[in-house]
Amino acid sequence: MIDRATVDRILDAVRIEEVVGDFVSLKRHGTNYVGLCPFHQDRNPSLSVSATKGIFKCFSCGESGTAVSFVMKHEHMTYPEALRYLAAKYHIEIQEKEETPEEIAKRMRYDSLLVVSEYAQKFYQDILWNSEPGRAIGLPYFRERQFTDETIRKFGLGYAANRPLTLTSAALEKGYKKEYLVDSGLCVERDNGELADRFYDRVMFPIYSISGRVIAFGGRTLRSDKTVAKYVNSPQSEIYDKSRSLYGLFQAKGAIAKADRCILVEGYADVISMHQSGIENVVASSGTSLTVEQIRLIKRFTTNVILMFDGDAAGVKAALRGTDLILEQGLNVKVVLLPPEDDPDSYAKAHTYDEIQDYISANAADFITFKCEVLAKDMDSDPIRKAGLINDIIRSVSVIPDPIQRSVYADSLASRFEMSVDTILSRIVEMRETKKAQDRLLQRSEYNRNQRGYERQAGGFLTGNGSETPPPSYEEPVFEGEEYPQEGDIASPVSDPGYALTNRRLASNELQILTYLYKFGNEVIQFETRYGEEKKDPVRVDDYIRDSLLYDDIVFDNRLYRELFDEYFKSMRNMTEKGEERQAHILRHFDSAGNAVWLSCISEMLIDQHQLTVKVFREAIEPEVTRLGANVPKSILIYKREITRQQSAAISKQISEAQKAGDRDLEQELAAKLMVMTKVIYAFSKELNML
């Protein structure tokens, strides 16, 4: 692990214009630099780089952050990898943080499993090219599949000989431990304790991690014997989780990002043949059902997915199964069905690059069109089937997180089936509410199971000798109104679904207050006074915000904003910098903290959304700092008004329930509370001149 002092030295040395300039041609524009954004198809310079603040911002696609986050995004690196890249660029020696014995043991075990897997890949590859069985059996198979030698080497393909102790004997002789051979899934341990190869008499397809490490294998038999499994795959291990891996992603990630779309197929050969044809933005789920984790892997590089499957019944079924899952994760999905006699492997071999691209362009259908085409046969003569199809498509629309996209698809669906848009939107709302209720029940059920499990532990929460043994940490989830963040949510990156955006209105108010806190926390408010009012003493912005919320025992509803509020008073309260110097200091603090979600939110708050505005217009705008006396109190009042309004709505609902239950006393008690809250809302509205 990189120690804190080294991280600070790296961040001290970094000049963002130099880092971004390694990948983008920048031109000076006043105090900033501008260039074409590398994260979307940019025709006009939309990327602005501020050397003084140490941040970048694209005013077209919205990407923003620091030098570290730019490298992470552009090079698809983790935070530590990006730091190491920058350390090498600025010739800074990495000092590692001292690890605990447990951390060292875990890391060494993980590395050992990777090392033995990479040894196996080289071993199988060597057998393929340099042994008699490999040249006689393995290579002819691959060449029969029309794979070129260059393609075979690119994907690291190999051959496992037909003797079940070949790898085992060689690996043990090289000094690799039995423990790692078994735990990596390369070998199996027999009842007598002896080892045997898991893979033998098979051509081998290594599976790579996103960073290019070998983590698993798929082995295909060349026998025609139906009693022999066609494929044998590595089992789950510490280095391999098949639900979180995509075959070919390491080779395809650059092409996916460049093309801004990913083509998803089913098998190893499909990926390899498509790559060989020149279409490299292709990955496969490797015979497993598509998972949420796999979709999120794709989303790191693009939000556009094309499902390409065989045109037979199995291919149609696979496409239908995948569309809703992809839509639910906020990605755009289209489906391309190949002719019934083809799969991606055979089609890629029989057609040129241009022909394949033309076919995709001509046949890629959005999910509504696809479902209508494959499910609508004889639909008009069967009203029941037609209603079922419409409900199925509406269900697909309902899982889309972006409300604007849902609305657009609802319009399209209404036009196609000559229905009322309001009817479709009403059905969408109903389905989303049903899904939320089901999810809450599942969450509560899981929570109860965990709680019961803790209670069954020996001695409950006390051991037999009476000493306290607290149960594992487990926080009860929020069940009311919980909505996980999706693309477009306020400062709630999809990459971390732990941040639930429970209430959009409150979140918007909280973000406004948080922005004042971070941008102007140590500025002094000079309150505006009206005729006849007593003049108020000046107060710091951060003190005013904190005291105003504490006075009414208000805590931010949004977890992310609550964390950032606490972090400010923990780490930022005593800083003296102002203006751009202050913003640079804050960004540096969060950059070094290594929390990508915090950094993303802070970057969005601090980056000037008008950097590219013509100077004369900027000078005509009154500086925001001069309006703090009016704006900060106003933002607090609006926030408190919204909290009160929502509490009133909840009480109104309780009154209706009390009326249905015939509980007259409770109804009167709630009505009195509602009257008080109504007066409070009126007072807030009057103060805000909103009446």
The pLDDT tens digits of the residues spanning 639-674 come to 888 888 888 888 888 888 888 888 877 887 788 788
pLDDT for residue 189 is more than 70: yes
| Residue 610 CA: distances (Å) to CA of 36, 87, 631 | 18, 32, 19
What's the mean pLDDT when you consider all of the chain?
Answer: 80
Length of the chain: 691
Sign of CA dihedral 589, 594, 598, 600: positive
Q: According to the model, what pLDDT value does residue 376 have?
A: 65
pLDDT for residue 495 is more than 50: no
pLDDT in tens, 441-456: 666 555 455 544 444 4
Q: Which of 621, 492, 602, 493 is nearest to 557 (CA)?
A: 492
pLDDT in tens, 100-119: 788 778 878 988 999 999 99
Lowest-pLDDT choice from 59-73, 150-164, 370-384: 370-384
pLDDT for residue 617 is more than 60: no
Phi, psi for 188 (deg, rounded to 5):
-120, 145
Q: According to the model, what pLDDT value does residue 114 have?
A: 92
Average pLDDT for 352-362: 94
Strand-by-strand arrangement of the 55-58 sheet? 27-29, 32-35, 47-50, 55-58, 64-66
Q: According to the model, what pLDDT value does residue 315 have?
A: 65
- The percentage of residues in the chain with a pLDDT greater than 70, rounded to a whole number, is 82
Q: According to the model, what pLDDT value does residue 620 have?
A: 39
Q: According to the model, what pLDDT value does residue 372 have?
A: 79
Q: Which of 212, 367, 396 is nearest to 304 (CA)?
A: 367
pLDDT for residue 305 is more than 60: yes
Torsion angle defined by CA atoms of residues 540, 545, 546 and 549, in that order, rounded to the nearest 10 degrees:
150
**Position with higher pLDDT, 142 vs 529:** 142
Q: How big is the CA angle at 28 (ends 24 and 30), to the nearest 5 degrees?
A: 140
pLDDT in tens, 149-184: 999 999 999 999 888 889 999 999 999 999 999 999
Q: How many CB atoms lie within 10 A of CB 488?
A: 14
pLDDT for residue 389 is more than 90: no
Average pLDDT for 550-576: 84
Q: According to the model, what pLDDT value does residue 154 have?
A: 93
Q: Which of 345, 383, 403, 338 is nearest to 364 (CA)?
A: 338
User: Predicted confidence band at 275 (pLDDT cuts at 50, 70, 90)?
Assistant: very high
Element (H, E) at 37: none
CB-based burial, 561-582: b 16+ in 10 Å, e otherwise: bebbbebbeeebeeeeeeeeeb
pLDDT for residue 274 is more than 70: yes
Contacts of 253 (CB under 8 A, 6+ apart): 76, 210, 301
Q: How many CB atoms lie within 10 A of CB 124?
A: 27
Q: According to the model, what pLDDT value does residue 136 have?
A: 93
Domains of the chain with CATH codes: 4-89 (3.90.580.10), 101-240 (3.90.980.10), 251-363 (3.40.1360.10), 488-691 (no CATH)
